[in-house]
C-alpha cells in the first residue's frame, strides 16, 4: 500500500514540475532576461549530461587516451559538426568506442 | 510547405528512434532492478507509467529496497526530477497557444529524451501549426518503448550484455543535437562552462549537480551575449 502511495505522490510531483512553466507562462509575464536565458537551456543541460558520461568513470575523472568513451565522444563531436546527422554521429562514436574497447581489451 | 499533423508526428517518432537504442536497455535494467528491490511485477510496471522518469525510478526502487522512510523517498524523487522545470520553462514559449489538454499530455511525456529532440525542432523551425504533434510523436515513441522495455526486463530478465555499452548511444545522440546548435560564441562558451561545471559538481547528490551546472552556464551565456 505504502509503495503505491509513494509512486503516486512522486508521479503527481513529477507531472507538476513538468507542467509548471508551460502553464505559468501563459498567466504571468516573465522578465525579458529570463526569456533570453531560455535559449541557452538545451545547450547547457545537454552539455552537463554529456561531459560526465565521457570523462568520468566510477565517479573519478578519467582523462586518458585509454578512455574509449572520451575519444569516441570527441570523434562524434567532429562528425556532428561536419554532417549534422544524428545517425552518422552515433555510428562513428560507437565504431570508435567498440574499436578502442577491442584494442584495449576491455 | 507546412507539414501536416501526421507528418510532424512521424517526424518526431523518427527523430526519437536513435535515442531508443540507448533507452531500451535502460528500461530493461530498471525492470530487473525494481523486482530485486521487492516490488511486484504490477508495481514495477506501474511505476514506469506513473512516474515515467528513468533516474527517479531507479532511485525510488533503490530507496524502497533499503527501507527508507516514505517522506524521504518522495522528497528525493521530487528533487531528482526538478531539472524538468528547466525543460518546462524552455518549451513554454512554444506551447503557449495549445489548449489545456495538449499541455497536460505533453507535460506528462516531457522527459530528457523527448526534450532533447523537441527543443531542437522548435529552435530550428519555431512553433508551426502542428509542431506539437512532433513533440507528441517523440514523447509517445519514448513512452511506448519505456513501457515495453520495462515489461521485458520484468519478465525476461537481463538479456543485453552490459559490455555492449548501448547506453553510450544516449550521450552520442545528445552530442549530435548540441553541436549544430552552437552557432555563436555565447553558445559555445555556455557548452564549455556547462561541461566543466558538470565535472566539478558531479559529486552533488540527486542530479543537483546537473541543475547547478546548467544555471551557472546559462548565466555565463547571458553575460557573454550582453557584452
A45 and A22 share one domain: no
CB contact under 8 A, B168 and A81: no
Are B14 and B105 part of one and the same domain? yes
When divided into structural domains, chain B yields a total of 2
Give me the pLDDT at residue B169, please: 86
User: Is residue B147 domain-resident?
Assistant: yes
Q: B23 and B130, same structural domain?
A: yes
Give the domain range for residue B203: 182-227
Given a contact cutoff of 8 angstroms between Cβ atoms, the answer to whether A4 and B44 are in contact is no
Q: Which of residues 47-86 of A touch B (CB under 8 A)?
A: 47-56, 59, 61, 69, 72-73, 76-77, 79-81, 84-86
ipTM reported for the complex, 2 dp: 0.90
Both B127 and B17 in a single domain?
A: yes
The verdict on residue B173 lying in a domain is no
Nearest C-alpha neighbor of A14 from the set B137, B82, B58, B47: B82
Same domain, A84 and A45: yes
Q: Do both A26 and A41 map to the same domain?
A: no
Interface check B175 vs A, CB under 8 A: yes
Residue B158's pLDDT is 56
Give the model confidence (pLDDT) of B104-158 as tens digits. Answer: 999 999 999 999 999 999 999 999 999 999 999 999 999 999 999 999 999 886 5
The answer to whether A58 and B132 are in contact (CB under 8 A) is: no
Judged on CB neighbours under 10 Å (0-12, 13-18, 19+), B166 is middle
Chain A residues inside the 8 Å CB shell of B53: 14
Same domain? For B84 and B159 the reply is yes
**Residue with grid cell 549544430, as numbered in its chain:** B180
Rounded to the nearest angstrom, the minimum Cα separation between A64 and chain B is 15
User: Do residue B87 and residue B15 come from a single domain?
Assistant: yes
Q: Which three cell numbers stand for residue B216?
A: 551557472
Q: Does any domain span residue B1?
A: no
Tell me which residue in A8, A13, A90 faces B78 most closely, judged by beta carbons: A13
Residue A12 shares a structural domain with residue A52: no
Of A6, A8, A20, the CB nearest to B85: A20
CA A65, CA A104: separation in Å to the nearest integer? 10
A19 shares its domain with A41:
no
B198:A2 CB<8 A = no
Inter-chain residue contact B116 with A42, CB threshold 8 Å:
yes
Same domain membership, residue A81 and residue A45:
yes
Query: Which single residue is written with the C-alpha cell 524521504?
Result: B72
Which chain B residue shows the shortest CA-CA distance from A25? Answer: B92
Q: Are residues A43 and A25 in the same domain?
A: no
Q: How close B131 gets to chain A, by Cα (Å)? A: 15
Judgement on whether residues B140 and B208 belong to the same structural domain of the protein:
no
Inter-chain Cβ pairs, chain A and chain B, closer than 8 A: 252
Which candidate, B163, B174, B172, B158, places its Cα nearest to that of B24? Answer: B158
Q: Which residue of A26, A36, A43, A102 to mutate against B (max B Cβ within 10 Å)?
A: A43
Is B38 in contact with B65 (CB distance < 8 Å)? yes
Q: Quick one: pLDDT at residue B162?
A: 64
Q: Would you say B169 and A88 are in contact if contact means Cβ atoms under 8 Å apart? A: no
Structural domain count of chain A: 2
Residues A51 and A103 in one domain: yes
Is B142 an interface residue toward A (CB < 8 Å)? no
**Closest Cβ opposite residue A14 in set B51, B86, B209:** B51
In terms of domains, do B125 and B68 share one? yes
Nearest CA distance, A42 vs chain B (angstrom): 7
Q: What is the pLDDT of residue B2?
A: 73
Does one domain contain both A25 and A77? Answer: no
Whether residues A26 and A7 fall in one domain: yes
Name the residue range of residue A72's domain: 36-106
Claim to verify: residue B128 and residue B210 sit in the same structural domain: no
> Does any domain span residue B34?
yes
Contact B60, A5 (CB under 8 A): no
Q: Do A37 and B221 touch (CB under 8 A)?
A: yes
- B111 shares a domain with B19: yes
Q: Please tell me whether residues A71 and A106 are part of one structural domain.
A: yes
- Residue B46, chain A, CB below 8 Å: the answer is yes
What confidence tens digit (pLDDT) does each residue in A54-76 have?
999 988 999 999 999 999 999 99
The string of DSSP codes covering B157-170 is ---S-GGG-GGGHH
Answer whether 0.90 is exceeded by the pTM: no
Answer yes or no: do B102 and B188 share one domain: no
Whether residue B126 lies within 8 A of chain A, CB to CB, comes out as: no
Low-confidence ranges of chain B (pLDDT < 50): none
Amino acid at each position: 500500500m505504502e509503495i503505491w502511495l509513494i509512486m503516486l505522490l512522486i508521479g503527481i510531483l513529477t507531472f507538476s514540475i513538468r507542467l509548471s512553466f508551460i502553464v505559468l507562462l501563459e498567466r504571468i509575464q516573465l522578465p525579458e532576461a529570463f526569456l533570453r536565458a531560455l535559449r541557452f537551456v538545451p545547450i547547457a543541460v545537454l552539455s552537463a549530461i554529456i561531459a560526465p558520461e565521457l570523462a568520468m568513470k566510477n565517479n573519478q575523472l578519467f582523462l586518458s587516451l585509454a578512455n574509449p568513451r572520451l575519444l569516441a565522444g570527441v570523434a562524434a563531436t567532429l562528425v556532428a559538426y561536419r554532417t549534422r546527422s544524428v545517425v552518422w554521429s552515433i555510428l562513428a562514436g560507437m565504431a570508435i568506442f567498440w574499436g578502442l574497447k577491442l584494442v584495449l581489451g576491455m | 510547405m507546412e507539414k501536416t499533423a501526421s507528418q510532424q508526428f512521424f517526424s518526431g517518432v523518427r527523430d526519437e528512434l536513435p535515442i531508443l537504442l540507448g533507452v531500451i536497455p535502460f528500461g530493461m535494467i530498471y525492470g530487473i532492478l525494481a523486482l530485486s528491490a521487492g516490488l511486484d511485477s504490477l508495481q514495477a510496471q506501474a511505476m514506469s507509467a506513473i512516474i515515467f522518469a528513468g533516474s527517479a525510478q531507479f532511485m525510488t526502487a533503490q530507496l524502497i529496497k533499503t527501507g527508507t522512510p516514505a517522506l524521504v523517498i518522495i522528497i528525493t524523487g521530487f528533487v531528482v526530477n526538478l531539472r524538468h522545470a528547466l525543460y518546462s520553462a524552455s518549451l513554454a514559449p512554444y506551447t503557449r497557444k495549445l489548449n489545456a489538454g495538449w499541455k497536460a499530455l505533453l507535460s506528462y511525456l516531457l522527459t530528457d529524451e523527448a526534450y532533447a529532440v523537441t527543443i531542437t525542432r522548435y529552435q530550428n523551425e519555431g512553433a508551426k501549426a502542428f509542431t506539437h504533434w512532433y513533440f507528441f510523436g517523440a514523447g509517445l515513441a519514448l513512452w511506448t518503448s519505456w513501457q515495453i522495455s520495462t515489461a521485458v526486463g520484468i519478465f525476461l530478465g537481463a538479456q543485453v550484455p552490459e559490455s555492449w555499452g548501448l547506453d553510450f548511444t544516449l550521450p552520442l545522440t545528445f552530442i549530435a543535437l548540441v553541436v549544430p546548435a552552437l552557432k555563436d560564441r555565447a553558445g559555445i562558451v555556455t557548452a564549455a562552462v556547462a561541461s566543466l561545471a558538470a565535472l566539478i559538481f558531479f559529486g552533488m547528490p540527486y542530479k543537483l549537480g546537473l541543475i547547478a551546472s546548467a544555471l551557472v552556464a546559462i548565466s555565463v551565456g547571458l553575460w557573454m551575449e550582453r557584452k
